Amino acid sequence: MNKAIITIQCQDQKGIVATVSDFLYNYQGNILEVDQHVDEEVGMFFMRAAWELDSFALAKESIESAFREEVANKFGMSFDLYFNTQKPRMAIFVSKLSHCLFDILSRYYNGQFDVEIPLVISNHLDLKKVVTAFRIPFYHLPMDKSNKASVELQQIELLKQHHVDFVVLARYMQILSGDFIKTFPNQIINIHHSFLPAFVGAKPYHAAYERGVKIIGATAHYVTEELDAGPIIEQEVARVRHHNSVSDLVQIGQDVEKVVLSKAIKYHLERKVLAYRNKTVIFY
């Protein structure tokens, strides 16, 4: 089924839902999904609607301008329009850890992700065989403090050449610069263990083990210039017990990480995430 999805943000006002619904009805739109939310603290309205295109009276190329003129301008809306006939293009950044990459590629191969993966970029060669086995181009761009700026320029150029829509950091162990992040605002998804900031550093699971934690977890979020503090998309936890070893914690944590990251990717692909003021509204 060919369908369109629109996501909307604006100040809360009377008549928004009725006006959007009337717009779709007047052009013979068959509504498939609709969700809305009002953040009463800031007075903001959020909406996501999906409708069938085959019977819609407007051509795809005319919908955006018609909606802006007939609806959006009236309410001061910002909105984004998507079509399911256009597959998003996702780039993956990895380093050495493989669990998130394997999970993403498996779901991609099995058709769980309606996405194209035109390339994978890594600062190490460890996972090249994994990526090329899926017939996806692999780019090895080693990075250190001396060449970080020039390598990021190469990365950005590759992403532009491949018409990438968004980026997933599948345990990519490098901090992106502000210039890189500004190129893809709210279009870079990262995964990290939920110990931050309590257990920072290279071995958070070892630190958690020493502390005797009872819950571990993971957080997927959009990347901002403030490290690991961007809008949260998905979180999940798992209980651990006193007899779990460090290796147990690592395994449990990695299992949670890959599930949380994959959920965040799916929400993003389905246009169910609206970011505002470093928070998100997720229309599950």
Positions marked active-site: 228
Query: Token pair for residue 68?
Result: 């802006």
Residue given tokens 């990895």 in the structure block: 94
Enumerate residues 6+ apart whose C-beta is below 8 A from 64.
81
CA dihedral of residues 195, 124, 101, 166 (deg, nearest 10): 90
How far apart (Å, rounded) are the C-alpha atoms in residues 150 and 159?
14
φ, ψ (nearest 5 deg) of residue 34: -155, 130
Full 3-state SS string of 16-40? HHHHHHHHHHHCCCEEEEEEEEEEC
Neighbours of 148 (CB within 10 A): 15
How far apart (Å, rounded) are the C-alpha atoms in residues 232 and 280?
6
Enumerate residues 6+ apart whose C-beta is below 8 A from 129.
none
Beta bridge partner(s), residue 139: 121
User: What is the number of residues in the chain?
Assistant: 284
Among residues 119, 101, 125, the alpha carbon closest in space to that of 161 is found at 119
Strand 116-122 to 138-140 pairing: parallel
